[in-house]
Structure 1
Amino acid sequence: MERARRGVALVAVSLLLFSSTLVVGAVTAPDLGVGGERIDAGPADANASANAIGSANVTGTLVGSHGGGPGWHGKGSVYLIRDGAIAWQEGSADSYFDVTRLPNGTVMAGFMHSGYETGCAPYDAPCTKTGFRIIDPHAAGGPTVLSEYAFPVRTGKNSETHDVERLEPGVFLLSDMEHERIFVLEDGEITWQWNASRFYDAPPDATRHDWLHINDVDAISDTRYLVSVRNSNQLLVVERGEGVVEVVNEDRGTDDEACRGGGKQLLDFDDDGEVRCGDPGVMDHQHNPQWLGPGAILVADSGNDRVVELHKRGDRWVPVWSLESAGGMDLDWPRDADRLDNGNTLVTDTLNKRVFEVTQNGTVVWSTGTPSNSPIPYEAERLPEGERAGATAYEASGDGVHTVDNDIPGLSLALLGLRAVVPQTPFWFVETHLAVSLASLVGVVVGGVDWFRHRR
């Protein structure tokens, strides 16, 4: 009987520890809203806000949201934050990614959506498609998709078009994870493309393998494009007619395990004993680089949970400024960073479900949480300036602005997995909360078994 009482006591203590940890975490969590920009509601005065968007002088922060359902898909949207509220929101796709306001006031957005019944070949219907959409945020009746360019993909995961750039009217530059390429689309027809199989070991069928995960492409001149190859920890400068002319973070003997993704990403397909894998200490599974100018790049260094500015020193690219913490919170899988005209940096902190603006010395001057109906942000840009090649580069200043690496072996990876499976996990739920939760679960199980075996 005494053992049964101890079992009940252990269960009670474990539950108390678990609940008190969550309560303290929620109460002491940093405020995501700085400068009056905290949102968690639908559009405020949608018609008035939408009509104002057509103005060339529109201001605010435009966000492309990956979503918030299983695997982060579902609940995708594009929305504009202005004056502490969502001015408008369009949410007809499973996921949206890169967003750009065009000169005529419409918005261009990379997207992925499932359930198509036609145009699915070579795959069976219903199928998933990816590409980009043109959205009119000031259409009568609310934001409306005016047109889309889309092609079918084998799966809705790791096959999306994350980035699209408008080169000139009717001409677009796209990244393509499905076929691991970049291509130029002119009046609906592909007029040029570069396939990554020209540079990397290629699998027999790229559509069946999350091989390179090409997630971004930016025009840095009329003929040169900056390409983000996430799974190789590298950026490439690709020149039309020449191919790869520069590699940012070249393979210099790095342990290839950093790029293998547990055997699911880069593999030695040609059996030569090598894959092109950049140093994860420079950048690791990065997103959305911005070309600041010759010899300077700003990048969301997702795998290292930081934003980093790289400068070229001789034949190497080295970090000269980094941001790993802001507003009392460590960054968590950031996927976009834009250097603004005022010299500050706009950061999309994906798994903390926030977008914020920070000065060079790390001071947060503006911040917002994301809406509960579309909580996982992918990319943001400040209007009216948008993101563009060429921006202020910071002077090299030693180690830059950063905190120590707070990753905890095992727990940090487990927490990342939890947030992927359960996107609703609160932003303040960190490794210590996970450890206490697991310990509490063990206590409940052990105590429950003890009670069950010795009850009378």
Structure 2
Amino acid sequence: MLPADYSRATVARLLAALLVVSLIAPIAVSAVTADDREATTLQRGTVTSPANGTTVVSTQGYTFQGNTNPKKPARLVAVDERARLQWTYTSRQGTDAWFFDVDPLPNGNLLVVSPREGKTLVYELDPETREREWERLLPYEDTHDIDMLNDTALAVSHMRAWNESEGVSNDELLVYNLTTDTVTWRWRYRDHYPASTDGGQDDDWTHSNDIDPVGDDKFLASPRNFDQVILVNRTTGEIELQLGEDGNHDILNEQHNPDFLRGADGTPTILVADSHNDRVVEYAYTNGNWTRTWEVGSGQLNWPRDADRLPNGNTLITDTLNHRVIEVTPTGEVVWEYYATWGPYDSERVAHGDGSTGPTIREQNATGSYTLSGSANLTAGGSEPTPVGTTIEATFAGTPLDDTGATVGALWGHYTPWLRPVWMSGWDLFYGLVAGVVLLGWAVAEGIRVGRTRLAGR
């Protein structure tokens, strides 16, 4: 005699199979219809105002355990004033190669920062010949930013400096002498922050991703995991200015590449890519307090990691997970746009040198919050007009799971683009994971059913 629940079990199996097939079908369609050419195409977007000469972009790319994904290449890209490709440059040595900071030098060459195999290669690249004038392999893991101080010295933001034997972080800012290959100045975060900051010291405590000289005696630094931008006095070692505070994401949320500006009246001003808040912001320091004077692209940008103020008053933004670089006016209009797949990190308008050289927002009488307009809204590199993470956050907003939804949504938006194939959308990955959960539940249910049947037979 058949078990009494045989028909119900059969129906449940059929429903589960139908659900799995319906979830996997969109993934199969994406895989079959994927065009490899679209995965790595460098594309021109909106150009209503030609740029002043060449724009150079470092694209981080993606590698894992020595294997480089050919559809997510790490490379430098140079484009002309109308966003037409001039040249590309890829790494020719080492595995696990990434590209992060790229700085135009006064002699017309580029300073390139490229971590690989637990160390960081820094070199001066001639953009005409694409040959290296000099290079150094520094014993620092995953360095994001190095600046030339002069012909013989580098400023280095050294993160992931974990001392395993002592169980402490040695994350630091330092000056490295190229002539003697020695460190001539260093400033360690643990000497100025409580060990409990960001939940306690670990192997990526600060994620200090930027260092910029300000005048002759100060460094602007970005301890990303502390949600702060700081101005350090090289002589006294004191933190002279601090924008943001650990865990206060209303001000900054894991920012990148801040720039220090000084208004016509001397007001200290910081322009920064507020990465996990998906916006670019500017703050002015007046009467002993920071005031946000500008916000652009909130909810439209997708993990921006660089913002430079140009002499014409516009801002050049590296919009990483939309895989593009855009120049926007103070009111948010996109006037120049280039899709530099995959995962751009830094962009520089070469004629203007490194960083921001233009006026503050207050000097332009343009304070306020602005949405972006005028973009071509292309989807190069697998970007998503409506990321799954945003939908997850919206679904749980206003419920007891509000904070959990926001956390899951942010993690999804940050990590899954690096893990999924470029032909697979975020929704495809989501459907695939749901299908996996259904199959796992099905397998567990079948195991329980078989076990009960055997016990009943005994």
TM-score by length of 1: 0.70
Q: Out of 53, 59, 73, which is 1:59 matched to?
A: 53
Aligned position for 2:258: 289
Deviations 1:23-67 (Å, cap 9, x if unpaired)? 79x99x9x9741379xxxxxxxxxxxxxxxxxxx99322112222
Task: Report the counterpart of residue 222 of structure 1 in structure 2.
Answer: 216
Q: Which amino acid aligns with 2:413?
A: L
Match runs of 1:127-166 below 5 Å: 128-139=118-129, 143-153=130-140, 159-166=141-148
Letter of the 1:35 counterpart? T
Gaps of 5+ in 1: 38-56, 115-127, 154-158, 252-276
Q: How many Å separate the matches in 2 of 1:352 and 1:286?
A: 17
Which residues in structure 2 correspond to 1:74-113 (within 5 Å)?
A: 74=68, 75-82=73-80, 83-92=83-92, 94-113=97-116
Deviations 1:336-362 (A, max 9, x none): 111122222111122222222222222
Percent of aligned positions with the same letter in both sequences? Answer: 28
Distance 1:417 1:390 in 2: 30
The alpha-carbon distance between structure 1 residues 175 and 450, as it changes in their structure 2 partners (threshold 3 A), is closer
Letter in 2 for 1:182: L
Distance 1:323 1:23 in 2: 36
The match for 1:117 is: none
Distance 1:237 1:101, change over 3 A: same
Q: Deviations over 1:124-161 (max 9, x none)?
A: xxxx321521122333xxx23332223224xxxxx322
Task: Quote how far apart the aligned CAs of 1:288 are.
Answer: 0.2
Matches of 1:168 and 1:402, distance apart in 2:
40
Query: 3-state DSSP class of the match of 2:229?
Result: strand
Instruction: Encode CA deviations 1:68-114: one digit per residue, 9 max, x unaligned.
Output: 12389944322313342251313236012110122333211112122
* In the alignment, structure 1 residue 369 sits paired with structure 2 residue 369: no
Aligned to 2:292: 319
Whether the aligned pair in 2 keeps the contact of 1:353 and 1:369 (CA below 8 Å) is: yes
- Please report how far the alpha carbon of residue 285 of structure 1 lies from its aligned counterpart in structure 2 after TM superposition: 1.2
Aligned residue pair count: 377
Amino acid at match of 1:422: L
Supply the distance in 2 between the matched residues of 1:278 and 1:4 (Cα, whole angstroms): 51
Find out whether 1:358 has 2:328 as its counterpart: yes
- Aligned partners of 1:299 and 1:209: how far apart in 2? 25
CA distance in 2, matches of 1:19, 1:364: 37
- Which residue pairs with 1:257 in the alignment? none
Distance in 2, matches of 1:250 and 1:152, equals 31
Shift of 1:216: 0.7
Q: Of the candidates 406, 413, 418, which is equivalent to residue 416 of structure 1? A: 413
Q: How does 1:323-402 map to 2 (within 5 A)?
A: 323-325=296-298, 330-371=300-341, 375-395=342-362, 399-402=368-371
Say whether the 8 Å CA contact 2:309–2:356 is kept in structure 1: no
Q: In the alignment, what sits opposite 1:173? A: 155
- The amino acid of 2:114's aligned partner reads F
Counterpart residue type for residue 323 of structure 1: V
Contact 1:3 1:450 in 2 (8 A): no
Q: TM-score, normalised by structure 2?
A: 0.70
Q: Counterpart of 2:56 in 1: which secondary structure? A: strand
Structure 1 Cα separation of the partners of residues 425 and 286 of structure 2: 39
Counterpart Cα distance in 2 of 1:169 and 1:58: 27
Q: Following TM superposition, by how much is the alpha carbon of 1:15 offset from its aligned partner in structure 2, in angstroms? A: 3.5
Paired with 2:420 and 2:430, the residues of 1 have a C-alpha distance of: 19
Find the aligned partners of 2:52 and 2:44 in 1 and give their Cα distance.
Answer: 22
User: What is the RMSD of the two structures over their aligned residues, measured on CA atoms?
Assistant: 4.0
Match runs of 1:25-36 below 5 Å: 33-35=44-46
Give CA-to-partner distance per residue, 1:169-224, whole Å, 9 cap, x none: 33322211134222223443433232223312359xx9962111211111121112
Q: Secondary structure at the match of 1:166?
A: strand
SS at match of 1:231: helix
Q: Distance in 1 between matches of 2:173 and 2:259?
A: 17
Contact 1:411 1:434 in 2 (8 A): no
What secondary structure is seen at the aligned counterpart in 2 of 1:419? helix
1:343 partner SS: coil
How far, CA to CA, are the matches of 1:358 and 1:237 in structure 2? 27
Q: What is the deviation of 1:380?
A: 0.9
Residue pairs, 1:6-21, within 5 angstroms: 7-8=13-14, 10-12=16-18, 14-16=20-22, 19-20=25-26
Question: Structure 2: how far apart are the matches of 1:388 and 1:322?
Answer: 19
After TM superposition, give the deviation of residue 448 of structure 1 in Å: 8.4
Q: Is the contact made by 1:356 and 1:364 (CA closer than 8 Å) also made in structure 2?
A: yes
Aligned to 2:173: 182
Offset of 1:7 from its aligned partner?
3.9
Closer/same/farther in 2, CA of residues 15 and 188 from structure 1, 3 Å limit = farther
Secondary structure of the structure 2 residue equivalent to 1:290? strand
Report the 3-state secondary structure (helix = DSSP H, G, I; strand = E; otherwise coil) of the residue aligned with 2:114. strand
CA offset digits 1:227-281 (Å, max 9, x no partner): 1111111111112211224232354xxxxxxxxxxxxxxxxxxxxxxxxx26221
Q: 1:68 aligns to what?
A: 62
Distance 1:309 1:424, change over 3 A: farther
Q: Comparing both chains, which one has the higher relative contact order based on Cα–Cα distances under 8 Å and sequence gaps of 6 or more?
A: 1
Larger radius of gyration: 2
Unaligned runs of 5+ in 2: 1-6, 162-169, 373-388, 394-404, 451-458
